[in-house]
Structure 1
Amino acid sequence: MKEVFFVTYGGGHVRSVIPVIKELKSRGHRVSVLGLTSSVKDLKKEEIEYKGIKDYLNLFRDEEVQLILKYGDMFIDEHFDAGSGLDKPEIKVYLGMNLWDLSVQFESFEKAVELFNESGKNCFLPVNSMERILSCEKPDVTVVTCGKRAEKAAAFSANKMGIKVVRIVDLLGENLEIPYKAKVCVLNSYAKANILSSNKNMDEQDVVVTGQPNIEPTYTKEQLRDFIKKYSLDRFNKVISFFSQPNIAYREDVLLEFIKLMEKRTNFMGIWKTHPNEQMDLYTKYLNTLPPNLLILKEEDTNLILSKSDLVITFYSTVGLQAIAADKPLITVNFSKNAHPVEYDKLGCATSCQKYRRIQEYYKSFT
């Protein structure tokens, strides 16, 4: 029997590990989960027991806790979305602990704040905090799903402590460098080749083709029926869905184009699905003026939306993989000069939209 510790963020990350957690538990392994930010929604929904960052405050000295809470208080109002459904005290401790950790690494709180103001949460790498958490959990294996922030720190700390690491790669591994020792699980042989190409220190046996749990539909016929009825989807000729992501500079411009399309095509239903980590501030000003055939949804199951979509649009979300697996037409939007982490169009699986004026043209070509 193994002790397995999962560290997971939300969205496709947590949905990738949930089936694995359930399977390991069914085989008698002891599983513990650190649910970060929006991952807790899916963990609660699936009735999976987890801990948050604030559950580990007892691992810190009193003076450290005071600093963590102080730093969290300084930034919580600016970085907490009241409509997110998340626990504000948990997010406060998450921010505070990361800033405390950063200030320890640079021996300066001022430097930590400077980095945070420049890069936002991307500068977080709480290796000191994760080392204490791992010392508390004492796992045989640590499982992570992305190369960012607390998950990345957990992998680094596990390496330092001699704990085995499993990394689940949710996309196709293009140009993905993994800067720690791990057994890597990938979707297919194409992703395996990408990982080996970008990580010369890895051997063939370090990368295992396991498939991607998040791609498999998990809804029942009854849930699909209720979903269709709830939004009267059968009344419309087609359903076009857009799966959004945070930190996309031109996101609002794309939303406005999507609204224009739905205003013209009243026989279509448009569904704009927000990402679990998106703050809703962007959308609030539009909610009362949306056409009746356009929904902005935050909580609905991604697979249910995909199942009824005639066309799927995203930036570079893992939902693109789900759309491809479901044989749905896919458009990816990229108005920046930089390539996305995964370019579905280069694989012949999607149409790429790279100019504002072409959005309507691409929509029409599919409708």
Structure 2
Amino acid sequence: MIDVLFVTYGGGHVKSIIPVYNELAKRGVKCQVLSLTSSYKILKDNNIPFKTYEDLKCFFTESELGEIKYFSEKYFEKNYDINSGIPSKVIYWYIGINIWDLSKQFNSKQRAEDYYEKFGKKVFCPLNLFKRLLSNVSPKVIVVSSGQRSEKAAAIQGNDLGIQVVRIIDLISKNFKYDYKSIFCVQNNLSKRKLLEIAPKVPEKDIRVTGQPNLINRYEKLEESNFYENYQPQIFSKIVTLFSQPNLKDIEKIRKEYKSIALNNPKILFIWKLHPNEESFVFKSKIENLFVLKDINSSLLIEKSDLIITFFSTIGMQAITNDKNLLVINHLNEDYPVKYHEMGCAIMLTNLKKMEEVVLNSLYDPTLFEDIKNKRKKIDNVLNPEINISNIITSYL
């Protein structure tokens, strides 16, 4: 039996979970983590014990395992990046079990496959799996940090089984959906007001201002020394880091422009940080002052960079929280779920042809970010978020 079950994807989601897990462990709380896809490597690197979908085979009959293997064999190859650092069996069972679960919800293998092939992994919501898992392990609290796929399924089934759900929210986007009851832990009062505005059905008493563990820069001295040894940032005048995201439109044009800027400015170090869910082979660089990195601490890059570039990633809020100049690319005038420039905390690039000019002005014109810097400072940040969230969790034990 366990007290708390964490269910977590990678990127900012798992980084929200780890400090809370460590705080609860110090208090002697019995915790279990279910790692989903790319969270595997981060959890392993942080010495957090965890289980994966491979460990959930015990919840299925031999006949069901046969069906699951059928889906795994058919769809595994297109979903596995051999350079991801994630064992193949983790993805093998994740894909198979999710499509199997979908087939049971549709009562049809073919409909499940058609639906998955049309819409991809975003259709995953393995309710059957989590009903079995939660009925077996019976946690007192479920902690999630996302409203999608397995985390969503865990929360929904937790509601049905009377298990308390706590969700750590990094960003309040316009796409927020109130799919299950939970205690929602948000960064600050601004986030609370935004959540009430977007989802008025959420009871105000269920929104707690706790701070956000993921928005605090955390890295080890060894990571810092490795960064200086491997990429020699000290020999460059400035550092620019672009944090990429999966499935972005026109991404090849952005990569081409970024390469061009790096070639034209050899005294500036340029880093292209791949998202955990992006395959590592999608972008390569032979330019001496441009590195394409994936397995590196994002907090370290934010801390060391003079300019952060992104789209609508949580990284933008982390940059703002840590008083870093932020440039948002939106040359296609898309309706981003989070608009940092409307918060007054970022400059928006709307014309790729002017990207080099804007980047250089951002680095060398001290007046460009003056007003933005003042607005950044007005965003309130709550201290000790992992302690605040842990206090909420333990109140339900």
Give the Cα separation in 1 of the matches to 2:346 and 2:34. 35
Residue 104 of structure 1: aligned partner? 104
Asked if 1:263 is matched to 2:263, the reply is yes
Contact 2:7 2:36 in 1 (8 A): yes
**1:345 is paired with a residue of what secondary structure?**
coil
| Matched ranges for 1:166-315 at <5 A | 166-221=166-221, 223-283=223-283, 286-287=284-285, 290-315=286-311
Q: 2:334 aligns with which of 326, 332, 338?
A: 338
Q: Note closer, same or farther for the CA distance 1:267–1:40 as it changes in structure 2 (3 Å cut).
A: same
Give the Cα separation in 1 of the matches to 2:198 and 2:318. 24
Asked if 1:4 is matched to 2:1, the reply is no
Residue 121 of structure 1: aligned partner? 121
Give the Cα separation in 2 of the matches to 1:354 and 1:72. 42
Give the Cα separation in 1 of the matches to 2:2 and 2:49. 17
Residue 94 of structure 1: aligned partner? 94
For residue 355 of structure 1, report the CA deviation from its aligned partner.
Answer: 3.0
Residue 361 of structure 1: aligned partner? 357
Asked if 1:52 is matched to 2:48, the reply is no
Question: Which string of whole-angstrom CA distances, capped at 9 and with x for unpartnered residues, describes residues 330-356 of structure 1?
Answer: 011124453222111110111112333
**1:214 is paired with a residue of what secondary structure?**
helix
**1:347 is paired with a residue of what secondary structure?**
coil
Contact 2:257 2:355 in 1 (8 A): yes
Give the Cα separation in 2 of the matches to 1:336 and 1:52. 38
- Counterpart of 2:189 in structure 1: which amino acid? S
- Counterpart of 2:305 in structure 1: which amino acid? S
Greater RCO structure (CA 8 Å; 6+ sep) = 2
Asked if 1:322 is matched to 2:342, the reply is no
Q: Note closer, same or farther for the CA distance 1:136–1:337 as it changes in structure 2 (3 Å cut).
A: farther
Contact 1:59 1:132 in 2 (8 A): yes
Q: Note closer, same or farther for the CA distance 1:307–1:301 as it changes in structure 2 (3 Å cut).
A: same
Contact 1:172 1:190 in 2 (8 A): no
Q: Note closer, same or farther for the CA distance 1:75–1:2 as it changes in structure 2 (3 Å cut).
A: closer
Contact 1:173 1:191 in 2 (8 A): no
Contact 1:250 1:335 in 2 (8 A): no
Give the Cα separation in 2 of the matches to 1:42 and 1:280. 16
Residue 27 of structure 2: aligned partner? 27
Q: Percent of aligned positions with the same letter in both sequences? A: 39
- Counterpart of 1:334 in structure 2: which amino acid? N
For residue 224 of structure 1, report the CA deviation from its aligned partner.
Answer: 2.4
Give the Cα separation in 1 of the matches to 2:249 and 2:131. 35
Residue 15 of structure 1: aligned partner? 15
- Counterpart of 1:241 in structure 2: which amino acid? T
Contact 1:173 1:192 in 2 (8 A): no
- Deviating more after overlay: 213-222 vs 343-352: 213-222
Contact 1:15 1:214 in 2 (8 A): yes
Give the Cα separation in 1 of the matches to 2:330 and 2:174. 17
TM-score normalised over the length of structure 1: 0.95
Matched residues, number: 363
- Deviating more after overlay: 348-357 vs 169-178: 169-178
For residue 309 of structure 1, report the CA deviation from its aligned partner.
Answer: 0.4
Asked if 1:351 is matched to 2:347, the reply is yes
For residue 129 of structure 1, report the CA deviation from its aligned partner.
Answer: 0.8
Asked if 1:79 is matched to 2:79, the reply is yes
For residue 221 of structure 1, report the CA deviation from its aligned partner.
Answer: 4.6
- Counterpart of 1:332 in structure 2: which amino acid? V
Contact 1:155 1:165 in 2 (8 A): yes
Give the Cα separation in 1 of the matches to 2:116 and 2:288. 40
- Counterpart of 2:3 in structure 1: which amino acid? E
**2:341 is paired with a residue of what secondary structure?**
helix
Question: Which string of whole-angstrom CA distances, capped at 9 and with x for unpartnered residues, describes residues 224-269 of structure 1?
Answer: 2442233111100101001111111222221111100000000000
- Counterpart of 2:201 in structure 1: which amino acid? N
Q: Note closer, same or farther for the CA distance 1:19–1:365 as it changes in structure 2 (3 Å cut).
A: same
**1:96 is paired with a residue of what secondary structure?**
helix
**1:331 is paired with a residue of what secondary structure?**
strand
Contact 1:165 1:183 in 2 (8 A): yes
Give the Cα separation in 2 of the matches to 1:337 and 1:156. 35
Contact 1:186 1:207 in 2 (8 A): yes
Give the Cα separation in 2 of the matches to 1:337 and 1:158. 39
- Counterpart of 2:149 in structure 1: which amino acid? R
Give the Cα separation in 2 of the matches to 1:127 and 1:338. 33
For residue 2 of structure 1, report the CA deviation from its aligned partner.
Answer: 7.1
Contact 1:159 1:165 in 2 (8 A): yes
User: Could you list the runs of 5+ residues in structure 2 that have no partner in the other structure?
Assistant: 364-397
Give the Cα separation in 1 of the matches to 2:175 and 2:188. 16
For residue 173 of structure 1, report the CA deviation from its aligned partner.
Answer: 4.3
**2:312 is paired with a residue of what secondary structure?**
coil
Residue 373 of structure 2: aligned partner? none
